[in-house]
Structure 1
Amino acid sequence: MTDSTTGTVERLTLKTQLVRFVMTGVVGAVVDFGSTYLLFLAGMGDGASKTVGFILGTLTAYLINRRWTFQATPSVKRFLITMASYLATYAVQVSLYKLSIPWLEGMDLDQFWVRAVSFVIAQGTATVLNFIIQRWVIFRS
């Protein structure tokens, strides 16, 4: 939030940033899972559909987090660093997603629930990693 008398940006507390990060993550996750599952239903494989969904969800979350959660000015350098960190967490996320699918299919779950639970496992892990990287590296307070 900007102080109207000084024009400076007030730093948000860690708790506020964390709450906003999680809320933004929910929006990004809806974009990610929604597009991943729709592409899967359209015949795209699990890996490819998860990749496209991840990219769409990542861009959504980055734009919201940069402006709302961390209140940072636009920066090509920051964007590229963020995308590099997302690339690292992408590897973790897709690996967990693809590894958990056969395990959950062995439980005789409906294909929607197999992919939904796989998504939650992968997304939860990526969310924790992303917050740590963004809060203490990219958008240092």
Structure 2
Amino acid sequence: MPETPRSRDQEPHVPLPVEIPVTENIADDALDLKTQVVRFVLTGGLSAVVDFGLYFFLVQVAGLPVNVAKSIGFIAGTTTAYLINRRWTFKAEPSRARFIAVVILYAITFAVQVGLNWVMYEAFPDVWWRLPLAFVIAQGTATVINFVVQRAVIFKIR
């Protein structure tokens, strides 16, 4: 068969990460700031449950070191957050450039969150509230950084 010129849509590409399926065009309507904040907080709450639940289990039950457990929890929680926020909070279509930007942002917030968690964990006395309070401070800081950068930069990328 003779070769036909390929269109841009037919060129080989690197596949995007597996994500929650969508049945409608999610980029049709941009959401206002208030709606985005509410959705971001709800998504963050769910993601924090995933993060903290795994973190707590890995420290208290599995006996992993705090930084290892926090790292694993962070990865699980932020993956959950990205998948939900991209589609529900920011209504953004898939984009390799955006995904790369999110990976860079999450690498930065990973360092901030794990580092701040460790500093707070070491600063507090060895009492029952030490682990959750260190987590909340680190999580809160990372959440603010994530929302600002995602809204102002990442979900503006096409």
Same fold flag (TM > 0.5):
yes
* Pairwise CA distance, 1:8: 6.6
Percent identical pairs in the alignment equals: 52
| Paired residues of 2:113 and 2:138 also in contact (CA < 8 A) | yes
Per the alignment, residue 19 of structure 1 pairs with 38
Give the alignment partner of residue 29 of structure 1, picking from 41, 44, 48.
48
Structure-to-structure mapping, 1:44-123, within 5 angstroms: 44-105=64-125, 108-110=126-128, 113-123=129-139
Per the alignment, residue 131 of structure 1 pairs with 147
> Which of 1 and 2 has greater Rg?
2
* Pairwise CA distance, 1:102: 1.9
| Paired residues of 2:67 and 2:118 also in contact (CA < 8 A) | yes
TM-score, scaled relative to structure 2: 0.79
Give the alignment partner of residue 63 of structure 2, picking from 33, 43, 52.
43
Structure 2 CA distance for aligned equivalents of residues 90 and 8 of structure 1: 28
* Pairwise CA distance, 1:10: 1.4
Structure 2 CA distance for aligned equivalents of residues 135 and 94 of structure 1: 23
TM-score, scaled relative to structure 1: 0.88
Moved over 4 A (4+): none
Per the alignment, residue 156 of structure 2 pairs with 140
* Pairwise CA distance, 1:76: 2.5
Which structure features the higher share of helix residues? Answer: 1
Q: Size of the alignment, in residue pairs?
A: 132
